[in-house]
Structure 1
Amino acid sequence: MKNLKSIALALVVVLSTVSVSAQTKKIDASASTINWVGKKVTGQHEGTVNIKDGALVFKGAKLVGGTFTVDMTSLTSTDLSGEYQGKLNGHLKSEDFFGTEKFPTSTLVFKTIATKTKDVYTVTADLTIKGKTNPVTFDIAVKANTATTKFNIDRTKYDIKYGSGSFFDNLGDKAISDEFELAVALKF
């Protein structure tokens, strides 16, 4: 009986020291999407931007990390076409907004992750746009080989102040909201 207790105790010690190694799951950039919405007093514009590369890190089934690079040169509006789409895309890529010639990518790096509910995590990450890094917090749902999130970003924190009522007076109906919305659907 004493031997059996010793064996059981040894088994408990061994099992408690076995750690689950992290598994990195590469994002399928061609099957993943980032949709954006930017609002102004007189309406809104929407579009897409592509993920260049990225990965989520899991320990077992639990999300423990993530890093992403976004191709800012792929930024495009989807609510316009022809000449008007070209003008808006050009303006969004200019120094007034994202300056994609100088800053062709943006990055997101998960810093802390807390389990909110089964399959839903609250993430605080460092977001870098135009060379400026600020923390953002959002919830992300992970199921099977997909992850989805939706959150807002204050563009003025990244020195994108064009048309901002927070920085310029007398804009009237030309004012553009400081926040834009991202809806992200990842496949891995």
Structure 2
Amino acid sequence: MKRKFLSLLAFVAVAVVTTSCGEKKNETKGEDAKTEKKITSEAVKYKVDTANTVVTWKGSKVIGGSHNGTMNVSKGTFAMKEGKLESGSFIIDINSLTVLDIPADDNGNASLKKHLLSSDFFDAKNNGAAAFSITGVNEKEGKTMIEGNLTLKGVKKNISFPAKVSVEGNKAMIVSEVFTINRTDFGMKYGSSSFTDTFKDKAISDDVELSVSVVATK
């Protein structure tokens, strides 16, 4: 009986570990910045349509609870060569950050936005813009993988994510899958249990989910 009980405990322990350590969405580790790709003379240039381009974000607590929202892209260009993405870059307006999971007229919305824009997180006063520049594009397991330098809060790291790239007439689109970056790679250590003794029920996950939807025209 005792042996069966211990076996049951072992099974439960394995199940808990497996559940809590599930695969993260397209996790990308921030690496040293790489050489950014240049636009060649043969490539077709596109200008980002900022009104129809958006970056979405989602941050979570280690144990339960999350917030999500968007940020705007203020400008950008990219180039296509023979129907494939060659190079490009765009600027993200950090001050355009919105919170979508709390009603806009709720005091909690303004409070959270203010905290996210503070030096604890994005430090928008001193780093009001983030930038992404493509360093490579390749096919992996049937997906287009875009690699580029992300400059956030004054820190430049190379990241990669899967995306669908398409062209329709004079319009080109880049729509990424949801991918994950580690915010502490960019100096955002507030509430991280990796660097402080924050209790798990109050700790904020180091991982932030992002996705981008870029529309551009010739």
TM-score by length of 2: 0.74
1:49 pairs with 2:71: yes
Residue equivalent to 1:94: 118
**1:138 matched to 2:166:** no
Confirm or deny that 1:113 pairs with 2:137.
Answer: yes
Is 2:50 the counterpart of 1:29?
Answer: yes
The structure with the greater share of residues assigned to strand is: 1
SS at match of 1:30: helix
How far residue 169 of structure 1 moved from its aligned partner, in angstroms, is 1.3
Deviation at residue 68 of structure 1 after TM alignment = 0.9
Is contact 1:24-1:58 (8 Å) kept?
yes
SS of structure 2 residue aligned to 1:87: helix
Long gaps (5+) in structure 1 = 1-18
CA offsets per residue over residues 18-47 of structure 1, 9 Å max, x none?
A: x97011111101011111110112310000
Q: State the identity as a percent.
A: 33
Structure ranking higher on relative contact order (CA contacts 8 Å, 6+ apart): 2
Distance in 1, Cα, partners of 2:163 & 2:186: 23
In 2, Cα distance between equivalents of 1:126 and 1:24: 20
TM-score by length of 1: 0.85
The total of aligned residue pairs comes to: 169
Tell me what 1:181 maps to. Answer: 209
Amino acid aligned to 1:89: K
Determine which of 147, 152, 172 is the counterpart of 2:180: 152
- Where do residues 156-167 of structure 1 align in structure 2 (5 Å cutoff)? 156-167=184-195
Q: Which moved more, 1:93-102 or 1:23-32?
A: 23-32
Change (3 A) 1:176 1:170: closer
The SS at the match of 1:174 is coil
CA distance in 2, matches of 1:160, 1:180: 11
Shift of 1:115: 2.9
Partner of 2:95: 73
Q: Greater CA radius of gyration, 1 or 2?
A: 1
